[in-house]
């Protein structure tokens, strides 16, 4: 008889729900195997390639032997300076590149790791629902407890901070926020950010604002948290080059803000990773200097898609949010379905793949998210196909 060990997962892994996009990927592979002409609007992964000037910068950078060695943990000084300049130009916020900027292997990496630096077992982390799943997963890895803040349409998809019990606030170490928001596409007004500052100061809570979509907007650039007076005293902001410059595969992002918070995160990181490949950092410096013509062309592409999809679904009688930012459409599903049932129905009958709202947390039940990451022609076709099966 063959001898083998029994492989048992740790409690922390066993209690984790399956990663949302991994289970969607399975459904997708099955549909493709059945021969479905799939229109995939499920994942927030831009279909537009990285602009060529960035790719070319990478080609040059990858040839340099100096870049083949271990990078510095916190990011090359030139990369951190480029980030500080990017922030100053866009948001008018001054950052010290030495202490107030930290490179990340994509913002997901920093988001997932930060609870390890500040959360002990029994501590609470405030997480939005629906929300990016990594906020709550990172908390569980650190042994912390998530306190869910529902984002409801009647409150413009902002959490109701007054509804959080005082005893929860007293045990809370971190609060995760994300505007422009994935999946609801909502943006946050200055009044809300000021309330966040007030509550964070009162209860000594570190604010972690995820600003991955700050550049994907349709009217004017949304505020970032660092623009709010006092923000640097209590929090940090995560950014990503993924969505802004169509660089999801490159794995580079950054966090900025409070130096002590960044130092804590940096301490975890030095023990786990060895920084970002320097060639990627050099290409990212070029990316951060991209002229506004290119960025406005990207925004225009999404805007065209948004207009077609939004007005198409609205005509079909679907209740949905008109995004002022992000490339997501958050739509209410017909009342005879639940989120997963509706997504399965769409996939089987229309060959359109969306993400069930409940995958972003219980408060997302009753909704579905479409990502505008396909061409206008395919989006028109998706609207037609959905129209036929409703």
Ligand X SMILES: *Cc1c(COP(=O)(O)O)cnc(C)c1O
Residues of the shown chain interacting with ligand X in the complex, contacts defined by CB under 6 A: 44, 106-108, 132, 178, 182, 210, 212, 240, 242-243, 248, 253
Q: Classify the phi-psi angles of 9: left when phi > 0, otherwise alpha if psi is within -120 to 50, otherwise beta.
A: beta
Mark out the alpha helices in 34-127 (DSSP H runs): 52-62, 77-91, 107-118
Query: What is the per-residue DSSP string for 223-270?
Result: P-GGGSTTHHHHEEEEEEHHHHTT-TTT--EEEEE-HHHHHHHHHHHH
Residues 74 and 243 sit within 8 Å (Cβ to Cβ): no
**Radius of gyration of the chain measured on its C-alpha atoms:** 21
- Whole-angstrom Cα distance, residue 333 to residue 345? 11
Please state the closest distance from residue 5 (CB atom) to ligand X, in A: 34
The least distance separating ligand X from the CB of residue 369, rounded to whole angstroms, comes to 11
Q: Which is nearer to ligand X, 139 or 212 (CB)?
A: 212
Q: From the CB of 216, what's the least distance to ligand X, in Å?
A: 10
CB of 247 to ligand X, least distance (A): 8
Which residue lies nearer to ligand X by CB, 68 or 221? 221
Give φ, ψ of 369 to 5 degrees: -115, 130
Residues forming beta bridges with residue 280, ordered by sequence position: none
We find the least distance from the C-beta atom of residue 327 to ligand X, in angstroms, to be 10
- State the nearest-atom distance from the C-beta of 239 to ligand X, in Å: 8
User: Which of residues 295 and 316 has its CB atom nearest to ligand X in the complex?
Assistant: 295
> Between 119 and 127, whose beta carbon lies closer to ligand X?
127
Our CB check for ligand X shows the closer of 350 and 373 to be 373
Contact 295, 244 (CB under 8 A): yes
Using the minimum distance from each CB to ligand X, give the nearer residue, 47 or 381: 47
Residue placing its CB nearer to ligand X in the complex, 243 or 269: 243
Q: With b meaning 16 or more CB within 10 Å and e meaning fewer, what string describes 176-188?
A: bbbbbbbbbbbbb
Beta pairing, strands 367-371 & 355-356: antiparallel
Token duo for residue 103: 């490179």
CB of residue 243 to ligand X, shortest distance in Å? 6
């Amino acid at each position: 008889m063959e001898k083998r060990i029994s492989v048992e997962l740790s409690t922390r892994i066993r209690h984790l729900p399956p990663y949302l996009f991994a289970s969607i990927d399975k459904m997708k592979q099955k549909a493709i195997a059945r021969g479905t002409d799939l229109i995939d609007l499920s994942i927030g992964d831009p279909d537009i390639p990285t602009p060529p000037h960035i790719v070319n910068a990478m080609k040059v950078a990858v040839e340099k032997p100096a870049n083949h060695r271990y990078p510095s943990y916190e990011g090359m000084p030139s990369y951190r300076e480029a980030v500080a300049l990017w922030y100053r130009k866009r948001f008018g916020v001054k950052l010290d590149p030495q202490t107030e900027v930290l490179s990340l292997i994509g913002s997901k990496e920093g988001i997932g790791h930060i609870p390890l630096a500040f959360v002990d077992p029994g501590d609470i982390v405030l997480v939005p629902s629906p929300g990016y799943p990594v906020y709550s997963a990172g908390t569980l890895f650190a042994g912390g407890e998530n306190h869910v803040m529902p984002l409801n349409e009647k409150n413009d998809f902002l959490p109701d901070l007054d509804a959080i019990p005082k005893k929860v606030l007293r045990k809370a170490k971190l609060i995760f926020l994300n505007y422009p928001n994935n999946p609801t596409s909502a943006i946050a007004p200055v009044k809300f950010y000021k309330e966040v500052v007030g509550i964070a100061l009162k209860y000594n809570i570190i604010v972690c604002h995820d600003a991955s979509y700050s550049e994907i907007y349709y009217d004017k650039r949304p505020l970032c948290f660092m623009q709010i007076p006092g923000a640097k005293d209590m929090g940090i902001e995560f950014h990503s080059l993924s969505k802004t410059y169509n660089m999801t595969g490159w794995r580079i992002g950054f966090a900025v803000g409070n130096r002590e918070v960044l130092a804590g995160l940096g301490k975890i990181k030095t023990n786990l990773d060895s920084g970002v490949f320097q060639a990627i950092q050099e290409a990212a410096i070029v990316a951060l200097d991209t002229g506004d013509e290119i960025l406005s062309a990207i925004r225009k592409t999404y805007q065209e898609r948004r207009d077609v999809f939004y007005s198409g679904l609205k005509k079909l009688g679907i209740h949905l949010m008109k995004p002022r930012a992000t490339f997501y459409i958050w739509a209410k599903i017909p009342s005879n379905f639940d989120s997963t049932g509706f997504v399965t129905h769409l996939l089987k009958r229309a060959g359109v793949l969306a993400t069930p709202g409940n995958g972003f947390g219980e408060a997302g039940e009753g909704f579905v998210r479409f990502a505008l990451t396909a061409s206008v022609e395919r989006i028109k076709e998706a609207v037609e196909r959905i129209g036929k099966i409703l």
